[in-house]
Amino acid sequence: MPFLFAIIGCFFLYRTSKYFPAGIILLKRPIRPQNRYLKIIGSFFLLASAVLSTIVYGLGTGLFIFFAAVMFNFCFMMIVLPLNRKWVYLVAGICMALIVFENIL
Cα distances from 20 to residues 10, 32, 54, 77, 78, in angstroms, run 12, 12, 30, 9, 8
Q: What's the pLDDT tens digit per position in 15-63?
A: 777 777 666 655 455 555 567 788 888 899 999 999 999 999 999 999 9
Q: What's the pLDDT tens digit per position in 52-103?
A: 999 999 999 999 989 988 888 888 777 777 776 666 677 777 777 777 777 6
Cα distances from 72 to residues 7, 30, 33, 89, in angstroms, run 9, 25, 23, 17
Please count the other Cβ atoms lying within 10 Å of the Cβ belonging to residue 13.
Answer: 20
pLDDT of residue 13: 82
Please count the other Cβ atoms lying within 10 Å of the Cβ belonging to residue 58.
Answer: 12
Q: Record the pTM.
A: 0.71
